[in-house]
Structure 1
Amino acid sequence: MQLFFHPVDLRLNHTFTIAHDSRDVQPTLIVELRDGAYRGFGEATATRYYGITIEGMVAALEAIRDRIEAHTLADPEQFWADMHPYLEQNPFALCALDQAAWDVWAKRQGKPLYKIWNLDPTNSPLTDYTIGLDTPAQMVEKMQERPWPLYKIKLGRPEEDKDISLVQALRQHTDAVFRVDANCGWMATDAIVKSKLLRDLGVEFIEQPLPANDWEGAKQVYEQSALPIIADESCIVEADVDRCAGYFHGVNIKLTKCGGITPARRMIARARELGLQVMVGCMTESSVGISAIAQLLPLLDYADLDGAMLIANDPATGVTFDYGKVVYADENGTGTKLLLPE
């Protein structure tokens, strides 16, 4: 195999603001594994919040280039296990490599990845579309640009207690289901009170209302919230799934954070064993990363796969979207084709 890197600055359609970050450009790294005529692609975005840079991911992968290129890749799960000890400290790089491995491996088999896993996408969940923090008027404008049956609304600015009035303002313009993501921006007592008000405004669940390490508060909210509570920042790696049981009603698994498709599948299975609801989300990836994540759709209760819809210069093709429904590309592997020059 041969290893290639394709760093890209993804230009966002709108300034994207959440409780702890705001950006207009999302740097991303597309990793390619080439095996003869087969090209497999994976992706991970840079993020200041987790200290992940493009340069750091490239350096981590370059350090084991010989191991990667010498591997037979007979089994993607074994490939992940062989690479994990060297990339454990950079799960984003491991994620991009793992996605590329599954993609090229499935292309060798001549089938889409989800079909190799014998998954039926017939009843897969719809994906939401995220509306980043902004003024009410601008958030309404973003909704009107993209009529959708399901919106994720970013809330949680610690200096402002305007969350409820904001959702009330948005509700006047759509009957769509809302999901709320506070990105660690609330305290337990606030979350409990807001949960009752948000329930009456047609909100389906609340994602990560408290700081990730506030387990005492999480227990209180879990027991008293009027809405289901989904862990995000509190559920990073496989061991966190067990810890979230009894503190959250479900978990949002991010492939970049846990290290790829391989551990994500195990996390989904473990969450099911524990009776947790399962969501898989994105980190504003292009169609490369989104198409990889979408292979897991039939296993999920909820999906947040809008990354490619938020950018203006998608460097690839892959899954497409039809009013919330994720439509698989008629391609093998994860369905991704890179549009960048070789």
Structure 2
Amino acid sequence: MKIKIKKYVLPLKHTFSISRESHDFQDSMIVSLELDGKTGYGEATSNPYYKITFETMKAEIENVREEIEGFNFKDPEAFHAFLVSKKLSNFAICALDLAANDLYGKILGKPLYEIWNTDNSSYPITNYTIGLDSIEKMVDKMKEMPWPIYKIKLGTDKDVEIVRELRKHTDAIFRVDANCAWTAEETIANAPLLKDLGVEFLEQPLKADDWTGMEAVMHQSVLPVIADESCIVESDVEKCALHFNGINIKLTKCGGLTPARRMIKRAKELNLQVMVGCMTESTVGISAIAQLIPQLDYVDMDGAMLLKEDIADGVIIEDNGKVIFPTSGGSGISLR
């Protein structure tokens, strides 16, 4: 098996801001795995919150390149276990795991959702994210991209006012993501006002480790609350079940499709709502997420839609939210 690693700097359509950071470009690592005349592609983006850069991920993989290329690849699960044993970061493992799954499906000539025995005739529509900005610019972004579901990034002292103004311009479903910026008291107070404005749920309002605050929110919020920064790896699912109504799984944070599938299964056993989110990936990462959507309650896979220029072909998301799945195997990815 042969590895190739390449850096891409993905330009965004608009400056993307959340409560703790802003950026105009997204650094991304694309990994390809070649075997038996087939090539699988995977992706992991850099992230300052988790102190992950392209350079750190590439260095990790290069340190064990020889062992990876010498691995007797049979299926993604065994390969993922091998990568974990090498103590790579979950971000680096994610890129390799996505590539391995894409490769596996291409070798078998079947899309992943079919290999997993899931029916893709029904699935949730992705939301479209409106980054934190002036109200005028947030409205302009919505007008530029009419969509049935918006995720609204918040984290200011005027959050309810922002949502109230946005509501004047659309009948779409709203989801609110405060990215850890609120207190428990703010969350409980904001929830009924936001519910009246057509907000469906709140995503990670409190700091990731504020479990006491989240317990109060769970008992008093009139809106469901979905964990993001509090739910990173498989072992977090159990704890989140006591403090949240659902979880948002990020492939880069948990280490790829292989652990994400186990997290989905466990979350459903615990009666949690399940969402999978993106980290502004290109169509490489989004096509991998799309293979999971028949298993999900919600999905946030608008990463490629936020880019000025994409770097790959794969899953296509149409204007009405319908997903067109590639007919090729795996995640159906090809680089441009």
Say whether the fold is shared (TM-score over 0.5). Answer: yes
1:13 matched to 2:17 = no
1:126 aligns with 2:125: yes
- Note the 1:31-70 alignment, pairs <5 A: 31-70=31-70
Segment of structure 1 superposing worse, 142-151 or 330-339:
330-339
Instruction: Write the distance in 2 (CA, Å) between the matches of 1:225 and 1:324.
Output: 30
Deviates further, 279-288 or 317-326: 317-326
Shift of 1:132: 0.1
Matched, 1:300 2:296: yes
**2:233 is the alignment partner of 1:233:** no
The 1-side partners of 2:36 and 2:250 are apart by 31
Match of 1:216 in 2: 212
1:1-342 → structure 2 map (5 Å cutoff): 1-88=1-88, 90-157=89-156, 161-322=157-318, 323-339=320-336
Helix, strand or coil at the partner of 2:209: coil
Give 2:329's aligned amino acid: N
1:87 partner SS? coil
Q: Secondary structure at the match of 2:86?
A: helix
- The answer to whether the Cα contact below 8 Å between 1:156 and 1:185 also exists between their aligned partners in 2 is yes
Shift, 1:331, TM fit: 2.0
CA deviation digits over 1:239-276, x for unaligned, max 9? 10001012000000000000010100000001011110
| Residue pair 1:188, 1:221 contacting (<8 A) in 2 also | yes
Using the alignment, how far apart are the partners of 1:307 and 1:10 within structure 2? 10
1:259-318 residue CA offsets vs partner (Å, 9 max, x unmatched): 010100000001011110000000000000000111110110000000000011211011
Output the amino acid matched with 2:147: W
Per-residue deviation, 1:232: 0.1
Q: CA deviation at 1:327?
A: 2.1
| Distance in 2 of aligned mates of 1:208 and 1:266 | 22
Q: State the Cα deviation string for residues 180-228 of structure 1 (Å, max 9, x = none).
A: 0000000000000101000000000000000000000000001100100
Stretches of structure 1 lacking an aligned partner (at least 5 in a row): none
Q: Higher mean Cα deviation, 63-72 or 269-278?
A: 63-72
What is the root-mean-square deviation in Å for CA atoms of aligned residues? 0.8
Which TM-score applies when normalising by structure 1?
0.97
Q: Secondary structure of 1:238's partner?
A: coil
1:258 maps to amino acid: C
Equivalent pairs, count: 335
State percent identity of aligned pairs. Answer: 57
1:9 to partner: Cα distance:
0.1
Compare 327-336 and 45-54 and name the one that shifted more: 327-336
Whole-Å separation in 1 of the counterparts to 2:158 and 2:47: 27
Shift of 1:135: 0.7
* Conservation of the 8 A alpha-carbon contact between 1:207 and 1:229: yes
Instruction: Output the CA distance in 2 between the equivalents of 1:327 and 1:212.
Output: 35
Whole-Å separation in 2 of the counterparts to 1:102 and 1:18: 31
Write the distance in 2 (CA, Å) between the matches of 1:268 and 1:36.
31
1:148-182, Cα deviation, whole Å (9 max, x unpaired): 0000000013xxx1101100110000000000000
Distance in structure 2 (CA, Å) of the matches to 1:87 and 1:124: 34
Code of the aligned partner of 1:248: F
**Matched residues in 1 for 2:26 and 2:87: separation?**
22
CA distance in 2, matches of 1:326, 1:92: 26
**Alpha-carbon distance in 2 for matches of 1:119, 1:73:** 24
Secondary structure at the counterpart of residue 123 of structure 1? coil
